[in-house]
Structure 1
């Protein structure tokens, strides 16, 4: 008698268990790989978001600095305009008494028999037109203007004899500016800024 033992079902069962175990391990490895990939992607996304926030902050600060620079530029322009206005006001303050001195000296230097008919001012140059009885009075008037501390040397343009016996004359003379202004503070102000 012979006994035949069939080992095939046992081998089949073992093969099935190994296949199931392999598939379970393969599933776990796949699951771990997916979880690892998701973890790495999440980490990179967090870093990317963090870097984007830093970039946004830097851009916001750059815009703020640009606004500050623009404001500073506006302040400088305003400062320059104000300094120009201050200088203009100083010049006007200085020229106001100068105009009074000019008129006072014109009146003080006026010779007998001479009178002015027209006075024009172009910068520091005065153009005078007037009438005198004689040519000597015109010469005396020119010497009186030259002797004045406010005027330079006068230049006679023309002398014409009128029908009424008077001499019409035109002359020009430079003003001598006597600067009694206080020293300009704009240079001191610029150095301090």
Structure 2
């Protein structure tokens, strides 16, 4: 067999698979998310098999699918496909969040979402403390200490002084470097 016929067979198979999955979704036999994860696997496989994006589009079932598209880096698609394949391989031992590396997976480890929210909140608290310090530095008569800035932010945000101080200790150096590189301090 030559490469062109293999490519054509793969594209025909992709077209068929998409149509079958769509039909199964419409008939209530398959959840749409499941069907689309499966289709993503096939699309990425085609792309990694050196079938170009426009050729893959030609296998899409209708003009809406072919024109209503967005270009996504393969690295992003690969992470989704690998998470999906891990889920299929390990279910029910791992739930989907664990397969994608989003949930803690036991041993007291918190979820990626929770860790990211905590990190974002800490950076926010640090930024607020820096703003309080910088704002007060503009007027020598109104200058405040770091500790006073921590107390102001803690009161405004409904957290402890210690929480603001810990956030400041963790993130202030990075913020200072950014401010200095931009010529703001």
Instruction: Give the TM-score, by structure 2 length.
Output: 0.24
Instruction: Give the TM-score, by structure 1 length.
Output: 0.23
More strand as a share of residues: 1
Q: Which has the higher contact order (CA 8 A, sep 6+)?
A: 1
